[in-house]
Structure 1
C-alpha cells in the first residue's frame, strides 16, 4: 500500500466567513485548530478587511478551498489565476490548497460546480490539469468529491472515476462526508460502502456540513443548516476508515451565532478523539 499522505492540518476547523469577523475577537476559539477560506473571496481584499484577514493568518493556521480552477472544464487552465492563488497561499502561509472535482467554466464563469462525465477520457483530462496546477504551484493539492444531481456519463462509477483521477494525477483527497450522504440519497447508493471504497491513504482532510431536504429522495447541498444524525454517523464511520484526520465544519448560509457553530465544532472534535482512540487500539 502507498504511504499515507502527510496531512499539513490537524484537529478541527471552521470555514471563515466575513459575517463572523465581528464575533471572532470575543469568541472562545480553543476548539478551532484551523480556518478555511475560498481564496477567490480574499486574495483581492484590501483596506480594513484585508488587515483583519492578515492578522488572522498571522495568528491561526489556515487552509484554502478554491472555487474557480474548473479542473474538469473544457477551456485551458487560467494560469494567471493559478499564479495569483499561489502568491496568496505563500503570503499567508496557507498549508493546504484544495479544489473541487468539477467544472465551473466554459468561455465564462458559470458560478456553479458542474459535474464531470465519469469516463476514461475525463480521467485523463482532469488528471493532466491537476498535475499542471501542482507543477505550477510546486505543492500537492487535494481534490474534493462533489455533490451532483444529474450524472453526465456513467462509463465509470463515481467511485471508480474518483479513484482513477487520484491515481493518475497523484494528488490528495479532501473527502466531503456530507456530499457522500447527499449523493447516496439522490443516486441511491450505499454511503458507507462508497466511503470505504476510496483510498484512505490519500485523505488529508474531511469536510462536514448540513443540507436541505427538498423531498424524501432529493437532498440539496446548501451548507446552510445544522448537520443531521445520519451525517454524524457517517463521519464516525469515516474516522474508522481514514483515521482522525483534520475535519472542517462548513457553513455558508443561514449563519447562526458563532457559539452555536462552536457546538458543532466540539461535536466533531469529540468524534475525532473517539476515532483516534479506536486507531490507537488497532495499532497497539
Structure 2
C-alpha cells in the first residue's frame, strides 16, 4: 500500500463547477483534491490554468473513469501513455480506477459489474498488472456499486480480495458503495467491511446516495453523506486504520462551506481513531 498523503487527510473532488470556489477557498479548507484524468488530459484555457493553479497549492490524486479494467477489448496503450504523463506532470501519488468495465466495442458511459468468477479474477488481475506496468506505478482499484449481478460463483468480498492478491495492487475502499450494495443485494455491510484486507487499503471514498426505497439505494454522489455511512466510515477507521479520505460530490453542489463541514466531520473521525490507536499502542 503506497501513498504519500498523510493518513489523516480529507480531500474533495475537483469538479469544474467548483473551480472558482476551490480557487478562493481559505488555506486548510481541504487537504487534497482528486480529479479524473480522463476529463482533464489535454485541457487548456481557463480550466487548464485553474488546474495548474490548484495543483501548485494542493496535492492532487486521480481517480480514473474509462480504463475498463474488467473489459475484454485491449487496454488503450495511447490513453495509458497520456495518463502516465498527466500523473507525472502533477506529481500524483495515488491513482485509482474502478473494479468494473465500461467498454464493449465502444464506450458505455457507465460502470458495469464483472461476474464474480475465478476466470474473471485472472482476467482482471492480468489487465491491472498490464496497466501498472504501463503507468510505472501501483494503482488502487475501487469496489464499485452495482445493481445487477451477472454471475456470482464466489461472493463479492472473496472476489475483490482475490483480484487484489493476484494483481498485487491496492484497494480504494468506497464506504458508500459497501452500504449501497449491502442494502441492494441483502448482505451485512459491516461484515463485508471486516473482510477487506487492511494492508492493501490506500484510501477511502465516501459519498451521498439516493433512497429510491427501503431496499433500493442509488449511488448518486449528489447528496450529503447519510448517518449510516458515517457510522460505517468510523468502523472502517477502527478496523483498518485511518487513511486519506475523499468526499465525492458530483452534482447538486451546495455552498463550499457545507462541503467543508463534511470534510471537518471526516477530520474529527480521523482524530478520534488516531487517538484510540495511540492509546492502544501505549497500553502495549
TM-score (normalised: structure 1): 0.97
Aligned to 1:166: 164
SS at match of 1:283: helix
Q: Distance in 1 between matches of 2:20 and 2:30?
A: 17
Aligned to 1:9: 5
| Contact 2:36–2:64 under 8 Å retained in 1 | yes
| Contact 1:102–1:116 under 8 Å retained in 2 | yes
Q: Distance in 2 between matches of 1:29 and 1:211?
A: 29
Offset, 1:84: 0.6
Question: More displaced, 165-174 or 39-48?
Answer: 39-48
Is the aligned partner of 1:202 residue 2:200? yes
Q: Which runs of 4+ in 1 moved over 3 A?
A: none
Pairs aligned (count): 280
Aligned to 1:40: 38
Q: Within 5 A, what are the aligned runs for 1:253-268?
A: 253-268=251-266
Aligned to 1:94: 92
SS at match of 1:164: helix
Q: Distance in 2 between matches of 1:141 and 1:197?
A: 20
Q: Structure 1 unaligned runs (5+)?
A: none
| Contact 1:104–1:110 under 8 Å retained in 2 | yes
Aligned to 1:53: 51
User: Which deviations, in whole Å up to 9, do the C-alpha atoms of 1:209-247 show, x marking residues without a partner?
Assistant: 000011110000000000010000000000001111110
SS at match of 2:20: coil
Is the aligned partner of 1:176 residue 2:147? no
Question: More displaced, 171-180 or 273-282?
Answer: 273-282
Aligned to 2:125: 127
Offset, 1:278: 1.5
Aligned to 1:273: 271
| Contact 2:23–2:54 under 8 Å retained in 1 | no
Q: Distance in 2 between matches of 1:111 and 1:25?
A: 29
Q: Distance in 1 between matches of 2:11 and 2:92?
A: 13
Aligned to 1:113: 111
TM-score (normalised: structure 2): 0.97
